[in-house]
Amino acid sequence: MLVLLDSGILLRLVNRSDPENASVRAALRLLKQRGDSLVVAPQNVAEFWNVCTRPASARGGYGLSAAVTAQRLRLLERLFKIVSETPAAYPVWKQLVVNHAVMGVQVHDARLVALMTAQGISHILTFNTGDFARYTKIVAQSPSDVLKGLSASQSP
């Protein structure tokens, strides 16, 4: 099964001082042991770069240089396949935002769901499972859900 990794997962994975680092690592290890393929969307890579290079004085910023961020990105690229964005995702995205009256920053989550639908990805590992609750064709799991043994067929 393909599992998309959300930006928050990527950020906590490369930040060993993050309190959620251990749970992210454990959940990823469990998913791999289960035989799942872990993938990343270009949008998540862009969000990862944004947070890493955002000044530490700004909300949530890591304050890293572009060179350090590029090094961390290379690590992610070695660990996970980057799935491509396809033109087929656009009409799915448009239908999602219209049908669910998606507004504001949540359009980014709808874009991920559209990419997932176009690429045949059924699950996303995220800390923001509630942001994906309206999309019934995908399963959003948090690292704690995975570690509790939530089966692949259950919704959180």
Is residue 97, in this structure, part of any structural domain at all?
Answer: no
Is residue 139, in this structure, part of any structural domain at all?
Answer: yes
Parent domain of 32: 2-85+120-147
Query: What CATH number should be reported for the domain holding residue 62?
Result: 3.40.50.1010
Q: Do the Cβ atoms of 122 and 128 come closer than 8 Å?
A: no
Q: What is the structure's pLDDT at 151?
A: 46
Q: What is the structure's pLDDT at 152?
A: 44
Could you report how far apart the first and last alpha carbons of the chain are, in Å?
17
* 24-67 pLDDT per residue, tens: 999 999 999 999 999 999 999 999 999 999 999 998 899 999 99
Q: What is the mean pLDDT of residues 71-90?
A: 95
Q: Does residue 153 carry a pLDDT above 60?
A: no
**Burial of residue 13 (number of CB atoms within 10 Å: 0-12, 13-18, 19+):** buried
Band of pLDDT at residue 149, cut at 50, 70 and 90: confident
